[in-house]
């Protein structure tokens, strides 16, 4: 059986842009279509290579700004034939009440009843924006615990993908071992599909586009296929291929995404991309361990990351910010 690849993209209006005083339209420009390599770019590339992806969209900005920004997020994704599932950052609920929100206010700060209410409301907002009833969930910052799993099961969700071993036990606080990467039933009827990990001397590192190099991702995918693992879950964000201010392309990270799409296109027979709605029943009896890391690949990634931060975050991002301020 082929090893299915879940390409997941957390899609949201970003807290840091709100905290900087930007209105939702500026936040949208920097978060959703950051520097021209946001969701429209990613959708075009996925379409060119005929790849499937899941976009976990946070609809909670609607609590403050209405449904317009959420519809603008989901409409292009659905039009491209891609999947939308539910993401949730609860700080928007505080902003709705004109309360001071802290970025550290994660879903795990709430008890079961409050989590149930927040998830139910977020689901209803997403559906109101035109999305089919979601069956999969990922908490913002991977912040989930046993109460989250219980609430999701109560609401009829089929999948959760919040367990991230490299962020365990805080904020990713589901009662699972950090090294758990295999599908597992975490609550009655609810299957946890953990974010995939690589291991190494520096501990676990999750398979996120901005966190690992393309050679590390490729090696992890090949290892998963060799071990007949049923699913590999990769994470990205709507804004991830750009600098943190959302105004300049981070060419190091964009190249990783581009190369990953080319690789998955060529390897589709053994590593087909999938989405949650059409995911076949996955084996819950399979064993999976974090993919073995390589010291050589790790050192190369660290060197490339340092150069990219210097070249793009320090210089390109600042130059773009100055240009934006001058134009404004």
Residue position matching structure tokens 């924006």: 129
Residue 50 to residue 114: CA distance in whole angstroms: 40
Helices 251-266/39-48 angle, 10° precision: 30
Counting residues of the chain whose pLDDT is more than 90, the rounded percentage is: 74
In the prediction, which pLDDT does 300 show? 80
Q: Give CA 249 to chain center in angstroms.
A: 19
pLDDT tens track for 212-251: 999 999 999 999 999 999 999 999 999 999 998 998 999 9
- The domain that holds 216 is classified in CATH as 3.20.20.370
- Under DSSP, is residue 270 helix (H, G, I), strand (E, B) or coil? coil
Residue 244 to residue 47: CA distance in whole angstroms: 26
pLDDT greater than 80 at residue 65: yes
Beta-carbon contacts of 327 under 8 Å, excluding residues fewer than 6 positions away, are: none
Record the tokens describing residue 278, joined without a space. 């059409």
pLDDT greater than 70 at residue 310: no
Size (the chain), residues: 328
Using CA atoms in the order 239, 269, 200, 141, what is the torsion angle rounded to 10 degrees?
30
Of the pLDDT bands very low, low, confident and very high (cuts 50, 70, 90), residue 81 is very high
pLDDT greater than 60 at residue 101: no
Element (H, E) at 160: strand 159-160
Is the model more confident about 295 or about 225? 225
Residue 265 to residue 110: CA distance in whole angstroms: 41
The structural domain count of the chain equals 1
Residue position matching structure tokens 């597992």: 184
Is 8 within 8 Å of 194 (Cβ atoms)?
no
In the prediction, which pLDDT does 121 show? 97
Mean of all residue pLDDT scores within the chain: 91
Q: What is the mean predicted confidence (pLDDT) over 123-127? A: 98
Max mean pLDDT range (46-60, 104-118, 198-212, 282-296)? 46-60
In the prediction, which pLDDT does 320 show? 64
Q: Residue 264 belongs to what domain range?
A: 4-327
In the prediction, which pLDDT does 280 show? 87
pLDDT greater than 50 at residue 103: no
Of the pLDDT bands very low, low, confident and very high (cuts 50, 70, 90), residue 93 is confident
Beta-carbon contacts of 167 under 8 Å, excluding residues fewer than 6 positions away, are: 141, 142, 206
Of the pLDDT bands very low, low, confident and very high (cuts 50, 70, 90), residue 98 is low
Helix ranges (DSSP H) in the chain: 15-19, 24-31, 39-48, 62-65, 68-79, 91-96, 112-128, 146-154, 214-226, 251-266, 295-308, 317-327
pLDDT greater than 60 at residue 189: yes
pLDDT tens track for 114-123: 999 999 999 9
pLDDT greater than 60 at residue 269: yes
pLDDT greater than 90 at residue 193: yes
Q: What is the mean predicted confidence (pLDDT) over 292-302? A: 81
> Helix %, strand %, coil % for the chain, to 5?
45, 15, 40
Beta-carbon contacts of 42 under 8 Å, excluding residues fewer than 6 positions away, are: 9, 53, 236, 238, 241, 257
Residue 136 to residue 155: CA distance in whole angstroms: 11
- Whether the CA torsion 33, 163, 291, 225 is positive or negative: it is negative
In the prediction, which pLDDT does 24 show? 94
- Distance between first and last Cα of the chain: 55
pLDDT tens track for 25-61: 999 999 999 999 999 999 999 999 999 999 999 999 9
Q: What is the mean predicted confidence (pLDDT) over 248-256? A: 94
Residue 48 to residue 44: CA distance in whole angstroms: 6
Record the tokens describing residue 276, joined without a space. 């949650």
Q: 100-128 burial, b for 16+ CB within 10 Å, e for fewer?
A: ebeeebbbbebeeeebbebbebbbebbee
């Amino acid at each position: 059986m082929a090893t299915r690849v879940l390409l997941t993209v957390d899609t949201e209006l970003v807290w840091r842009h709100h905290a900087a005083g930007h209105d939702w339209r500026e936040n949208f420009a920097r978060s959703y279509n950051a520097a021209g390599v946001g969701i429209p770019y990613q959708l075009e590339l996925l379409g060119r290579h005929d790849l499937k992806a899941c976009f976990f969209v946070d609809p909670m900005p609607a609590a403050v700004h209405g449904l317009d920004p959420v519809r603008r997020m989901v409409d292009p994704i659905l039009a491209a034939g891609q999947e939308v599932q539910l993401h949730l950052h609860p700080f928007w609920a505080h902003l709705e009440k004109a309360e001071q929100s802290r970025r550290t206010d994660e879903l795990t700060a709430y008890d079961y009843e409050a989590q149930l209410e927040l998830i139910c409301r977020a689901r209803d907002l997403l559906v109101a924006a035109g999305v089919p009833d979601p069956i999969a969930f990922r908490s913002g910052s991977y912040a989930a615990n046993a109460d989250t799993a219980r609430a999701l099961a109560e609401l009829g969700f089929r999948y959760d993908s919040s367990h991230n071993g490299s962020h365990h036990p805080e904020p990713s606080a589901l009662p699972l071992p950090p090294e758990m990467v295999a599908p597992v039933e975490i609550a009655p009827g609810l299957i946890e599909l953990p974010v995939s990990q690589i291991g190494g001397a520096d501990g676990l590192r999750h398979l996120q586009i901005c966190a690992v190099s393309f050679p590390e991702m490729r090696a992890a995918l090949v290892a998963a296929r060799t071990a007949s693992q049923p699913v590999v879950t990769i994470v990205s964000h709507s804004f991830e291929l750009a600098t943190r201010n959302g105004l300049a392309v981070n060419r190091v990270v964009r190249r990783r995404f581009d190369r990953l799409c080319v690789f998955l296109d060529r390897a589709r027979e053994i590593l087909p991309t999938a989405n949650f709605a059409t995911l076949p029943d996955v084996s819950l009896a399979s064993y999976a361990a974090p993919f073995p890391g390589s010291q050589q690949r790790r050192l190369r990634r660290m060197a490339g990351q340092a150069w990219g931060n210097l070249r793009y975050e320090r210089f390109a991002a600042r130059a773009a910010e100055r240009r934006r301020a001058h134009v404004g």
